Structures are given as structure tokens and as C-alpha cells.
Structure 1
């Protein structure tokens, strides 16, 4: 499960079943919901586990954070390149260990929206924020 704590939103991300795999996907790595984050933004990861020790790992980004029951681990990261990055649990954690993929989408478009939002928000101008939302979603 993932949570965007600043926005009070959470979602689950599950492996795509083999019968639903289409071309241009990676077997045992693609998920039904990607974790989507902006580039060039300081991201704080808070990781925990409810059952056994896991390790949330995305090798191509150099991320490896242990998830330990009863403990909240944190890590920070700033990614400078957009793309879709894959990882897996890298701690042998039980019978379904191989079915724990991670797919992280780093998006430059999100960065631009956030940058614009904070620019308008810094003026504390309701009309500016209304204009921003209108231009992004119309």
C-alpha cells in the first residue's frame, strides 16, 4: 500500500496477473497502479511493515529501504530523470516474496504543476490559484 500523506490519499499496487499481461509490459514487474512522483523534488519516504521484514528496493535509482514491523524507517531522495523504474522486495520474506513488484513513475509534468501551484500559492492569491486550476484542467 502507498499513501500520499500530504493529500490524505492512499492506494494499493498489485502485480498484473499473467493472463492480463499485454505486449510492452514486464512479467512479474508491472503493477496495476504505479507510484507517481515528481522529479527535482525532495521526496521523503516513510516505510514500515505489518508482518515480516521487507526491503523496498529500486536498484536503478539506488534506493533500498528496509521495512521492519513496529519501526518507521525514513529516507530522502531527489530524482533528476523522468521515467518508469522497477524494483522488488529484496529481503526474502515468505512464500509470496517474488510477487512483490515496485513500479515508480517519475514525472516531469507533475513537477511543473507543483512548481506553478507553489508560485501562485506564495502570493496567497485565490484568483491566481483559480487561474492555475482552470488552465491545467480545461
Structure 2
């Protein structure tokens, strides 16, 4: 059944986070349905937390995060926002946060179900509304599959 762990206030933005081995995918259903993978970047700082594509959210907005797992149970943890929620295959868990200031925030997968597990970094860049709007436009183009811009990774990454 639909069991909600907490009462989610009316969201300004919904992001769907899918835990995979060993990275997260983020979809933005409210902003043109693009989706992208966020993998640990070997050359980014801080070490083991930097990623190639951050989740980007606007400041002072209620961000609803729907979390699920593609393979095993992962945990989506963002201590800065008091968020920790399990990403379970076949289930959609929901949480929310509101970032009071701009900047980079880091979290990570905190379940230990594999040797690489500590290295599923979560990087969130909190920006002003205007910057978020322009990022969305860029992301729609960057992550669109086949240039159609309808749905970025409907098929998912090829194995």
C-alpha cells in the first residue's frame, strides 16, 4: 500500500533518485523529464565525494525526493539536510528537504552492501532560481537522448 514515512509539504520541485551499482541517477520529472547518472569523479575534490554530474536544486524551495533502488538496497543520506532514506528496489520512498543557503553539499550511500558502497557519493549543488533555470535548459540539451529532448534515458544505460 501507499505508506508514507513522513508528511511531505507541497513540493516546488520533485527529483527521482535511483540507486544503482555504484552510482545514483537523477530524474527531473517537473523540468522536462531529463535524467542523468552521477558517478564518482576520480579527479574531483573532495576526494571520493566529487561527482561528474551533481544534483542541482534551487535554494529556499521544498525539494521532494523520490528514492528507489535498481538492484540492491542503497541509502540516500544527506546529513546537511537531515535526510536519510532507504532506496529499495521495487519501492518508491519519499523524503524532502529545503536548502537555506547556496553551495555544495555532500552525502553518501551509507548501507554497506558491497565493497564500493562507501563510494556512492551524493553531491548537491544549491543555486539561486535564475541559475537553476539556466542549468535546467543546459541539462535538457546535454542529457537528451538522440537530440529529441523527450526523455533522456528511458532505456537506461546499456550494460
Pairwise same-fold verdict (TM > 0.5): yes
How many pairs align? 109
User: Taking structure 2 as the reference length, what is the TM-score of the superposition?
Assistant: 0.63
User: Gapped runs of 5+ residues in structure 1?
Assistant: 115-138
Structure with the larger strand share: 2
Deviation at 1:41, TM superposition (A): 1.1
Where do residues 1-138 of structure 1 align in structure 2 (5 Å cutoff)? 1-6=25-30, 7-17=32-42, 20-21=43-44, 25-110=45-130
**Which deviates more, 92-101 or 46-55?**
92-101
Secondary structure in structure 2 of the residue aligned to 1:48: strand
Distance 2:86 2:132 in 1: 31
Superposition RMSD in Å: 1.9
User: Gapped runs of 5+ residues in structure 2?
Assistant: 1-24, 135-159
User: Taking structure 1 as the reference length, what is the TM-score of the superposition?
Assistant: 0.72
Q: For the pair shown, which has the larger CA radius of gyration, 1 or 2?
A: 1
Structure with the larger helix share: 1
